């Protein structure tokens, strides 16, 4: 969609681009030094602002390491968390913080991977130092830096960039005019590029050609649906229950690509009779959720949201209570690596074999 303020924002985008490229040049020429972690590091990030499916990919990588007997530690800034400083979200045994203190995506990763250590901090170096000290007698085998492609202050053994195959990168603009954090050509800094959210390989062909110009290995992935979980007492006899055979619902979420969520629900056979979408990471206030509930009540609909939004609300129990007069569900999603999985496995394994 055309941004009516595009021309007004362009000067700021050019300034932002200049700063980004200058900073990268200073790291490339070793004028800015990167810190060496005592634990091997894998970085997973992107070059655009949200919508790449990065969090499910982090989850996939964590599960891969756990499957081969390597205990990972996830390090994140904990976007929009209410806590400050270095915070231990999970020690690999117990979850210690809610999504309010940890950030919604970080809390989701911790709950979905209870054997992984999870730490949030404004400065990722502080988080790694904390892990190395606190778990000195049982160090994790690998550190996974979440959303760290632009964070070059820590050296990494493997630098993974994730991009959304549906984004028109050849015409994309830099922030704040567009959604790019860095130009497409900067993908050459990655060791591996994962082209994600592929639904049509022919349509993804143009972006594949651009990515292949970087000379980096390319892995193809798509998002697949997981379980549809009921979290309302009005539709489940326990805390979690599977989807009924038919479901007509009002969908709501605060995500970067709501159209993908709608498509996923359609694939699951859910009839979306109405929807309300908010900006990515937009706070879900009591007023907004009351409006969502009233519309669902008026139309006799169940409510359905994303897993990320569920965990966002979970940190604010009062918000959950507002909507659970209706049957409420959230849809889990997973990453499906359908081409290049062997490459990804080999590169991840090489990090801990060094």
3-state secondary structure of 353: helix
Residue 126 phi/psi, 5-degree rounding, is -65, -40
pTM for this predicted structure? 0.91
For the chain, give every residue range classified as CATH 3.40.50.300. Answer: 6-223+336-353
**Omega prior to 176 cis, within 30 of 0:** yes
Q: Which CATH architecture has domain 225-334?
A: 3-Layer(aba) Sandwich (3.40)
Q: For residue 244, is pLDDT > 70?
A: no
pLDDT over 70, % of the chain = 95
Q: Give residues with Cβ within 8 angstroms of 214, minimum separation 6.
A: 185, 187, 188, 190, 193
As separate numbers, helices (DSSP H) first and strands (DSSP E) second, the chain gives 11, 12
| Cα(193)–Cα(161) distance, integer angstroms | 5
pLDDT band at 243 (very low <50, low <70, confident <90, very high): low
Backbone angles phi, psi at 245, to 5 degrees: -65, -35
Distances (CA, A) of 38 to 49, 69, 103, 170, 220: 30, 19, 26, 39, 31
Task: State residue 250's pLDDT score.
Answer: 97
Backbone angles phi, psi at 335, to 5 degrees: -90, 135
Taking only the tens place, the pLDDT of each residue in 162-197 is 999 988 776 789 999 998 999 999 999 999 999 999
pLDDT at residue 251 greater than cutoff 60:
yes
Query: Who wins on pLDDT, 227 or 134?
Result: 134
Mean per-residue pLDDT for 247-254?
Answer: 94
- Whether the predicted pLDDT of 1 surpasses 60: no
CA 277/CA 275 separation, integer angstroms: 7
Q: Which long-range contacts (CB under 8 A, 24 or more apart) does 66-72 make?
A: 66/113, 66/115, 66/116, 68/349, 70/140, 70/141, 70/142, 70/352, 71/115, 71/116, 71/117, 71/138, 71/140, 71/141, 72/116, 72/117, 72/140, 72/141, 72/142, 72/143, 72/144
Q: According to the CATH classification, is domain 6-223+336-353 in 1.10.10.10?
A: no
CB atoms within 10 A of CB 228: 21
């Amino acid at each position: 969609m055309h941004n009516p303020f595009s021309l007004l924002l362009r000067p700021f985008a050019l300034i932002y681009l200049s700063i980004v490229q200058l900073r990268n040049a200073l790291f490339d020429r070793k004028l800015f030094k990167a810190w060496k972690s005592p634990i091997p590091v894998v970085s997973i990030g992107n070059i655009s602002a949200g919508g790449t499916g990065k969090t499910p990919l982090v989850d996939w990588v964590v599960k891969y390491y756990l499957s081969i007997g390597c205990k990972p530690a996830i390090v994140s800034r904990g976007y929009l968390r209410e806590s400050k400083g270095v915070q231990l979200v999970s020690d690999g045994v117990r979850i210690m913080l809610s999504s309010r203190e940890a950030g919604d995506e970080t809390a989701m990763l911790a709950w979905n991977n209870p054997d992984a250590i999870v730490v949030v901090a404004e400065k990722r170096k502080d988080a790694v130092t904390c892990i190395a000290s606190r778990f000195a007698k049982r160090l994790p085998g690998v550190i996974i830096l979440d959303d760290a492609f632009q964070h070059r202050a820590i050296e990494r053994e493997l630098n993974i960039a994730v991009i959304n195959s549906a984004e028109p990168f050849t015409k994309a603009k830099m922030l704040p005019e567009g959604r790019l954090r860095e130009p497409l050509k900067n993908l050459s800094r990655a060791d591996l590029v994962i082209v994600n959210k592929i639904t049509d390989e022919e349509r993804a062909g143009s972006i594949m050609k651009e990515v292949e110009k970087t000379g980096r290995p390319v892995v193809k992935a798509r998002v697949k649906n997981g379980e549809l979980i009921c979290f309302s007492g009005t539709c489940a006899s326990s805390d979690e229950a599977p989807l009924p055979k038919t479901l007509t619902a009002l969908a709501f979420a605060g995500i970067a690509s709501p159209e993908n969520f709608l498509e996923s629900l359609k694939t699951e056979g859910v009839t979306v009779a109405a929807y309300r979408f908010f900006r990515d990471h937009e706070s879900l206030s009591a007023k907004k959720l009351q409006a969502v509930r009233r519309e669902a009540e008026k139309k006799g609909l169940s409510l359905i949201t994303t897993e990320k939004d569920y965990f966002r609300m979970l940190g604010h129990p009062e918000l959950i209570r507002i909507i659970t007069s209706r049957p409420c569900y959230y849809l889990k999603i997973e990453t499906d690596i359908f081409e290049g999985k062997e490459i990804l496995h080999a590169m991840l394994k090489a990090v801990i074999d060094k």
